[in-house]
Structure 1
Amino acid sequence: MRLELRRGTLVLAVLACLRTERYGYTLRQALAADGLEMEESTLYPLLRRLEGQGLLTSEWREEEKRKKRFYVLSPGGEAMLAALTDEWRGINASLERIL
């Protein structure tokens, strides 16, 4: 049940973190620092799916002599983040009243 509850929040958290460009490892660190640890086996398929949906853009760059794929929100991702944030706030307010 805990995993089901977390699953829906991960998309919102990833989109919010990618308002700032990051590569996978730094994204995982940022999420973990805010209390949302995520396995690579969850994160990378999610990033590919979000990019496939047009919500993220990415590019390969060399940094510290290693190629890394950097992700950032696309304009569509910014719109989706705003919509999901509004939805989340409404759901959260309802749940707070219920709980």
Structure 2
Amino acid sequence: MTKLLNSLVTELRRGTLTLAVLSQLRTPQYGYSLVQLLEKSEVKIDQSTLYPLLRRLEKQELVVSNWDTTESRPRKYYVLSEYGIKIFEQLKAEWEKTSKELYTLLKGDEGDAPN
């Protein structure tokens, strides 16, 4: 890919990664388990992107975190707050609306082609 295309793809993915992460935090997850869940759905995310995103979501009060020290290796678990659940549902609805609109626009290009 060209440098410009890489930049545009990164920009396109930025907002979708937030929605993807929020969608997986309805149940508590720690960083690595979250990466695995996302990759299972073919959503690639680097840990260098994930942890700053989680910190930002926590600062925005969409996510709360707690340390689990019961195992030999302490883990920080993240889960949606009550506020985060409401925001996630609204973002999801907006994503579905926007996706339909974009699909219609993109499909329109194909529809203009002669048969």
Fold equivalence (TM over 0.5) = yes
Structure 2 match to 1:79: 86
Pick the structure with more strand per residue.
1
Which of 55, 67, 70 is matched with 1:60 structurally?
A: 67
Moved runs in structure 1, 4+ residues, more than 3 A? none
- Quick one: which amino acid aligns to residue 83 of structure 1? Q
1:26 to 10, 27, 33: 33
Structure 1 residue 93 and structure 2 residue 95: aligned?
no
Over aligned residues, Cα RMSD in angstroms?
0.8
Q: Deviations along 1:2-60, whole A, 9 cap, x unmatched?
A: 11111110110000000111100000000011011110110000000000000001001
- The residue type paired with residue 18 of structure 1 is L
Match of 2:51 in 1: 44
User: Following TM superposition, by how much is the alpha carbon of 1:62 offset from its aligned partner in structure 2, in angstroms?
Assistant: 2.1
More relative contact order, 1 or 2 (CA 8 Å, 6+ apart): 1
Deviation string, structure 1 residues 47-95 (Cα, Å, up to 9, x no partner): 0000000000100112540010000000010001001001001100000
For structure 2, the 5+ residue unaligned runs are: 1-7, 107-115
- How many equivalent residue pairs? 99
